[in-house]
Amino acid sequence: MSEKLVFTYNVNNAIREVLSELQYDKCFVLCDENSYVHAGPMLASLHDLLSDVIIIPPTDFHKNLDTLTAVWQRLICGGASRQSLLINVGGGVVTDLGGMAAATFKRGIRYINVPTTLLGIVDAAVGGKTGINFEGLKNEIGVFARPEAVLVTTEFMTTLPREELLSGYAEMIKHALIDGEEHYRDILGCDVINAWSTMLPIIRRSIAVKQRLVELDPREQSVRKMLNLGHTVGHAFESHALAQGTPIRHGYAVAWGLVCELLIAHRRLNFPSAIIYDLARYIERYYGAYVITCNDYNDLYSYLLHDKKNYSGRLNFTLLRNLGDCVVDCHVTQDEVEIALDFYRDLFHL
C-alpha cells in the first residue's frame, strides 16, 4: 500500500488533518537539532496533539545504532505502544532513522514523514526505505516500511542553505535522467536556488517518477533498481569521505556518482558522451568535484564491494543507454570502474 502524499503550503494544518484521520493512543515527534530549530514553533502549536518530542544529533555521522537505540529508549520511557504514532520532522537522516525506529519498535508502529529538506522531500521520505549506517557503510542495516503519509511542503525551504537545496536537486536530476529528455532539460533549466517558492509542481513531477517505480516494485526486485542510478559510486564516495573524517552531503555524492556511472554506461552501452560532458559541466559549476587520486581507487573499490545491490561478489549497477532508457543489474568489473574514475578525474580537472 502506497503512502498518502499531501502537498501543502501550510504544514501545521496538514498535520492536524492527517492526524484527524488516524486512530492512535500517543503521538511522538522525532527531530534532529537542526530541524527542531526551524520546526519548533510549528510543533509548539501542535502541543495538544503530541506526547513527546525526541531530539537527536544532526548529520549522517549520527545515523547509527547508538542514535537508534536512544530513540527506542525514549519511546519506551514515553509509554509508546503498538497503537502509537511517530512523526519524523527533518531531512533524510531523520526520516531514514525514524522510519527504522518505527518499523522495529514493538515489531512496527505507524509513522508519518514531514521532510524539511529538498533531499528528504524527493528521495528519503518517499518509498519506505529506512535504515542506519553501520561499520562505516551507508544504510547497511534497514527495512522496507512505508509511512502512513508524507507531507510535502516548501515551507521550510526559506531556511535551507544553498548546499542543502543543491543536495536535494541532485536526486531530481537523477529522476529526470531516468524519466526522459523533456524532464531532464526542464530540470537543468530550473533556477533551484532562487525559485524555491514555485517549485511544488516540479517537485511533484520528480516524486511521481520515484513513486511510479516504487508502486511497481516496492521491495526493489526489478524496476525500482532504476532509482539506484548514481548511488553505487555515490555511496562509495560517501563512505570514503566519512573514513577520511570529512563527510560529504548525500546529494553531492550522488551528483558525482551520476557522472562516473554515465561514464561506465558510455563504454558499456554507448550512452551519449555529449550529455555526459554537459552534465559534468553543470555538476562542476554547482557542486564542484569530489577530489580523488589513483591512490584512492582500492579503497573506493572495497566500498563498492560492500554495496547491498551486489550479487555473488560482482558489482551490480544501474546504467543508462540514453535519457529515459534504463538498464538494471549490469555487472561491472573493477577495470571498468577504474577507467570511469580516470575519466571522471579528467572531466573535473583533478
Which domains, and CATH codes, for the chain? Answer: 4-160 (3.40.50.1970), 218-347 (1.20.1090.10)
Q: Residue 9 belongs to what H/E stretch?
A: none
Closest CA to 121 of 206, 31, 4, 246: 206
| Alpha carbon distance 291, 288 (integer Å) | 9
Q: Where are the alpha helices (DSSP H) in the chain?
A: 11-20, 33-45, 65-77, 92-104, 118-119, 162-179, 181-189, 200-216, 231-243, 250-269, 273-287, 297-305, 334-347
Length of the chain: 350
Residue 196 pLDDT: 65
Dist CA 245 CA 265 (whole Å): 31
How far apart are the C-alpha atoms of 350 and 290, rounded to whole Å? Answer: 9
* pLDDT the model gives residue 60: 86
Global model pTM greater than 0.85? yes
Q: Please say whether the beta carbons of 305 and 313 come within 8 A.
A: yes
Q: Which of 136, 202, 135, 195 is nearest to 165 (CA)?
A: 195
d(CA 113, CA 115): 6
| Cβ count within 10 A of residue 67 | 19
Residue of 210, 215, 347 lying closest to 276 (CA atoms): 347
- Give the three-state DSSP class for 312: coil
Compute the distance between CA of residue 350 and CA of residue 342 in angstroms, rounded to an integer.
9
Contacts 24+ apart (CB under 8 A), 186-192: 188/279, 188/282, 192/118, 192/165, 192/166
- Position 1 scores a pLDDT of 59
Which of 253, 171, 235, 154 has its CA nearest to residue 209?
Answer: 171
Contact, 15 vs 114, CB < 8 A?
Answer: yes
Q: Which candidate, 95, 283, 271, places its Cα nearest to that of 173? A: 283
* pLDDT value at residue 127: 87
Is the CA virtual torsion 212, 175, 190, 152 positive or negative? Answer: positive
Q: What is the pLDDT, as a whole number, of residue 197?
A: 64
pLDDT at 124: 83
Output b/e per residue, 295-331; b: 16+ Cβ within 10 A. ebeeebeebbeebebeeeeebbbbbbeebeebbbebe
| pLDDT, mean of each 10-residue run, the chain (350 residues) | 82 93 96 93 92 94 96 98 97 95 97 93 89 88 94 83 92 97 92 72 91 91 95 95 92 97 98 97 96 97 89 90 97 96 97
Contact 132, 97 (CB under 8 A): yes
User: What does the pLDDT read at residue 229?
Assistant: 97
Gap between the Cα atoms of 61 and 165, Å rounded: 20
Residue among 291, 23, 242 at smallest CA distance from 135 = 242
With 0-12 CB in 10 A as exposed, 13-18 as middle and 19+ as buried, what is 164? buried
Q: What is the DSSP letter of 136?
A: T
What is d(CA 133, CA 238) in angstroms, rounded to the nearest whole number? 11
pLDDT at position 153, please?
86
Q: How many CB atoms lie within 10 A of CB 189?
A: 7
